[in-house]
Amino acid sequence: MPAEKSSKDYVIRVVGDPGEIDAAQWNALLDAQTSAAPFMRHEYLAALHASASAVAETGWMPQFLLIDDGAGKGGTLAAACPLYLKDHSYGEYVFDWAWADAYQRHGLRYYPKLLGAVPFTPVPGPRLMARDDGARRALLSAMMRIAHDAKLSSAHLLFLDERDQQAARDMGWMMRSTVQFHWTNREPEAYTSFEDFLAGLQREKRKKIQQERRRVAEQGIAFTVHEGAAIDERLWDFFYRCYTLTYRAHHSTPYLTREFFAAMAATMARHWVMFVARRGSEPDSEPVAASLIAIDPDRRAAWGRYWGCIETIPCLHFEACYYQPLAWCLANGYQRFEGGAQGEHKMARGLLPVQTFSAHWLRDPRFADAVADFLAQEGQGVAQYIDELRERNPFKTG
């Protein structure tokens, strides 16, 4: 694949190691996006690569797409996208296994494909970081040209914000929707406490949460909360043990290495909060579980990310992954908590359905037509599903 291409007033580059990209320029471009999230920061993406979590050996070959203002490598970054050549569809959370199977049954190769995404991170946000719509369109054009010239089956962009969605639609990309569950603080009068939040729920939902929390407390479980630099190496080690046990319980292999979390502690400490469940109320009591959320202190948003336990305790998952983070968000004036991919059970805990979008371009027009038909039918089903979910709103009417 060519290392550099020019188009109009832009210089388009493909970089195989995010560590070679100017971090200050990348982050400045991200900060200019209205939906910026910490997972698109240079530190996060570079750590995925440097820790061997998202590298060619794991099926993620970085091909980061950069557009300069015409002055080449010495120019100012006008647009950028984290791109990967993928030889599988793991770690994406937008499932296209059936498309790959259809290609194979017709004697064609679906992999490698070109993917614009944050590895292992189903969080909506900017993928086509750009100064303006012209530079955003240039990114999309460059992706299509790269995929076409390399004879790749397809190009994909996952979990797009609204501006990226519109740009992809305008360029003729096919759109696909999925459903996540997010909590947002009450407006215009924010909740004053977790108890205030519970009071807004329907009676049976409120009672269920109170019962679940009581079951955890009755087993002698208390939590300590650790923010930023206060998450020391011993806590990170314990968390990582829990994280790997979660994958083991599902007969799977962890995506992220211990080195990745070490990099997060070193370069992005302010973006993490850890909740440690302990058997006893003392700060140094025996830890039995841990959950980790990512936060944006500037935009007052939080994201549930990982959890695990070393022993099975009824209702502990809900306490560690929902109630403790929500209580922390309320106490610290946060406006949004995203619970992650899938999980209809989150609705009963105050997280409401939100539609998320991905964009897809297929080089073969025959498969593109077939996928377009499939997405039209699937989209109708998703819209109906969201309508049904909204009818089951857990909050009191009015």
Residue-wise pLDDT for 217-261, tens only, equals: 999 999 999 999 999 999 999 999 999 999 999 889 999 999 999
End-to-end CA distance of the chain: 57
> What's the whole-number mean pLDDT along residues 315-340?
96
pLDDT confidence of residue 71 = 52
Assess contact for 182 and 190: CB atoms under 8 A.
no
Closest CA to 135 of 270, 261, 12, 304: 12
Closest CA to 274 of 306, 312, 301, 251: 306
351-383 pLDDT, tens digit each: 999 999 999 999 999 999 999 999 999 999 999
Q: Are strands 301-309 and 336-341 parallel, antiparallel or unpaired?
A: parallel
Report residue 2's pLDDT band, with 50, 70 and 90 as the boundaries.
very low
Closest CA to 309 of 219, 214, 230, 207: 219
Q: Is the pLDDT of residue 73 over 90?
A: no
User: For the residues of 80-114, what is the DSSP string, one character each?
Assistant: EE-EEEESS-TT-SS--HHHHHHHHHTT----SEE
Angstrom distance (rounded) from CA 124 to CA 340? 10
What is the percentage of the chain residues whose pLDDT exceeds 90? 91
> What's the whole-number mean pLDDT along residues 108-129?
97
Report residue 398's pLDDT band, with 50, 70 and 90 as the boundaries.
low
What is the percentage of the chain residues whose pLDDT exceeds 70? 96
252-293 pLDDT, tens digit each: 999 999 999 999 999 999 999 999 999 988 888 999 999 999
Q: Is the pLDDT of residue 79 over 90?
A: yes
Q: Is the pLDDT of residue 7 over 60?
A: no
pLDDT confidence of residue 226 = 98
Report the chain's mean pLDDT, rounded to a whole number: 94
Angstrom distance (rounded) from CA 31 to CA 44? 14
> What's the whole-number mean pLDDT along residues 191-210?
97
Q: Is the pLDDT of residue 6 over 60?
A: no
Residues across the chain: 398
pLDDT confidence of residue 268 = 98
Angstrom distance (rounded) from CA 34 to CA 308? 33
pLDDT confidence of residue 1 = 39
> What's the whole-number mean pLDDT along residues 169-190?
96
**pTM for this prediction:** 0.94
Angstrom distance (rounded) from CA 316 to CA 214? 11
Show Cβ contacts of residue 325 under 8 Å, excluding neighbours closer than 6 positions: 273, 275, 291, 293, 302, 304, 337
pLDDT confidence of residue 49 = 98
pLDDT confidence of residue 74 = 58
Q: Which domains does the chain have, with CATH numbers?
A: 4-178+355-390 (3.40.630.30), 186-334 (3.40.630.30)
Q: Is the pLDDT of residue 326 over 70?
A: yes
Q: Which residue has the higher pLDDT, 73 or 195?
A: 195
230: helix, strand or coil: helix
**Residue 247, φ and ψ in degrees, nearest 5:** -65, -40
